[in-house]
């Protein structure tokens, strides 16, 4: 559908800045660490019900915090555009919301309760302005997003159960590019052990392997793997990688350690399957165990699939027209620097998903903030995208 100046103005006038701020503050005020987001889910459901929306609460495998699902249907058939967001936050001390000038601060303000509040405002604006001439807008919110406490299990189940649109908008705090490609990722932890008991280093059995030496050998082998992976690169997303973030061993300086463990990540590009990645990793661990005569336990935890967005998809066209109508120019394309729910929509359902959120900062810290002015802009862009795409 064409985005006319009259529709743009109608949506602009329908935005209720105070209502948007109130929604964001209410969501931020509900503590919702990953796995424990029931208060925030209940809060969002109450906000939507008070505003007249019918709300479904499918458990999707997580009965502690059932997901939140609401719909706005027009009178004519058309595409379904989904606004999707997570309500859980990383496990850091809770910071209560505050409004200070153009900023809202507090836990989840940036990642991603502020953006989700803007999506809710867009849903309310579309209903109030009556400019959605065809199709449906589906809003979903859920728990179990943030790793390592969650791995997208609840959203994945929603997708498998068919709770998915033809296209998806995700208000994660990425506003300076239209992400068209992203890497998949997994977290790994390798534990290396020897069979003997704890012992002073001068009393150590000379025939027992050193777990620290085996750990050093693992680092060398992962470095060589990283060099090979660097040859697999994308002009926007960069190379495939293996990364070591932690290594630990021993209790005191002169006790011969029984255990050494390392932890890190593995990221891959579209065209590489997660099964292929895990098989390669486990083969490397099997070889290490054989060569060092230690016991090697490898935990490989898949987090998200890789991501690709077809720039010719109707969703991209609708979004760019909406963005240009609000901002005055189209958004340049670029990589997705992180994994998010868009990876899951693409990996499980091959649905186009655009990550676009507000200007914000402090993600995964105790100093989160989001711009109120940009939340208003975001609500306008989301509402206009729905008008252009669903019709």
Q: Please write the tens of the pLDDT for every residue from 90-146.
A: 999 999 999 999 999 999 999 999 999 999 999 999 999 999 999 999 999 999 999
Find the distance separating the first CA and the last CA of the chain, reported in whole Å: 5
Query: For residues 144 and 307, what is the distance between their CA atoms, to the nearest angstrom?
Result: 19
Q: By the 8 A CB rule, do 34 and 86 touch? A: no
**Does residue 381 sit in helix, strand or coil?**
helix
pTM of the model: 0.91
**Angle at 322 (CA atoms; ends 130, 116), nearest 5 degrees:** 75
Contact 300, 282 (CB under 8 A): yes
pLDDT tens per residue across span 171-221: 999 999 999 999 999 999 999 999 988 899 999 988 899 999 999 999 999
Q: Which residues contact 189 (CB under 8 A, 6 or more apart)?
A: 261, 262, 263, 298, 299, 301
Query: What count of other Cβ atoms lies within 10 Å of the Cβ of residue 57?
Result: 13
Nearest of 40, 61, 80, 237 to residue 151 by alpha carbon: 61
Measured CA angle at 91 (ends 87, 94), to 5 deg = 80
Predicted confidence pLDDT, tens digits, the chain (391 residues)? 789 999 999 999 999 999 999 999 999 999 999 999 999 999 999 999 999 999 999 999 999 999 999 999 999 999 999 999 999 999 999 999 999 999 999 999 999 999 999 999 999 999 999 999 999 999 999 999 998 899 899 999 999 999 999 999 999 999 999 999 999 999 999 999 999 888 999 999 888 999 999 999 999 999 999 999 999 999 999 999 999 999 999 999 999 999 999 999 999 999 999 999 999 999 999 999 999 999 999 999 999 999 999 999 999 999 999 999 999 999 999 999 999 999 999 999 999 999 999 999 999 999 999 999 999 999 999 999 999 999 8
């Amino acid at each position: 559908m064409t985005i006319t100046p009259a529709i743009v103005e109608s949506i602009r006038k329908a935005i209720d800045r105070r209502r948007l701020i109130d929604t964001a503050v209410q969501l931020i005020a509900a503590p919702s660490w990953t796995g424990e987001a029931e208060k925030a889910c209940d809060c969002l459901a109450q906000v939507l019900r008070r505003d007249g929306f019918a709300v479904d609460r499918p458990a999707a495998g997580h009965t502690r915090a059932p997901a939140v699902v609401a719909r706005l249907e027009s009178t004519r058939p058309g595409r379904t555009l989904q606004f999707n967001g997570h309500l859980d936050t990383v496990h850091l001390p809770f910071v209560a919301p505050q409004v200070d000038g153009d900023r809202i601060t507090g836990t989840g303000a940036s990642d991603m309760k502020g953006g989700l509040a803007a999506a809710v405002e867009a849903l309310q604006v579309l209903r109030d302005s009556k400019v959605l001439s065809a199709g449906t807008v589906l809003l979903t919110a859920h728990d179990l997003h943030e790793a390592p406490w969650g791995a997208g299990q609840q959203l994945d189940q929603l997708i498998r159960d068919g709770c998915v649109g033809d296209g998806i908008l995700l208000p994660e705090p990425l506003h300076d590019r239209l992400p068209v490609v992203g890497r998949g990722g997994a977290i790994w932890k390798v534990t290396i052990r020897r069979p003997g008991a704890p012992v002073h280093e001068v009393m150590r059995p000379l025939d027992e392997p050193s777990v620290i030496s085996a750990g050093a050998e693992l680092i060398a082998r992962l470095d060589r793997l990283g060099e090979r992976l660097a040859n697999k690169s994308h002009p926007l997303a960069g190379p495939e990688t293996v990364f070591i973030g932690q290594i630990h061993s021993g209790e005191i300086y002169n006790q011969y350690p029984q255990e050494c463990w390392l932890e890190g990540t593995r990221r891959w590009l579209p065209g590489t399957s997660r099964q292929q990645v895990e098989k390669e990793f486990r083969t490397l661990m099997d070889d290490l165990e054989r060569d060092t005569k230690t016991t090697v336990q490898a935990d490989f935890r898949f987090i998200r699939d890789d991501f690709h967005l077809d720039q010719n998809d109707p969703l991209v066209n609708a979004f760019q027209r909406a963005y240009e109508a609000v901002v005055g120019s189209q958004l340049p394309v670029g990589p997705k620097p992180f994994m998010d729910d868009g990876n899951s929509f693409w990996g499980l359902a091959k649905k186009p998903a655009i990550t676009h959120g507000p200007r914000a900062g402090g993600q995964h810290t105790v100093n989160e903030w989001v711009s109120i002015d940009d939340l208003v802009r975001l609500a306008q862009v989301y509402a206009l995208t729905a008008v252009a795409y669903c019709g």
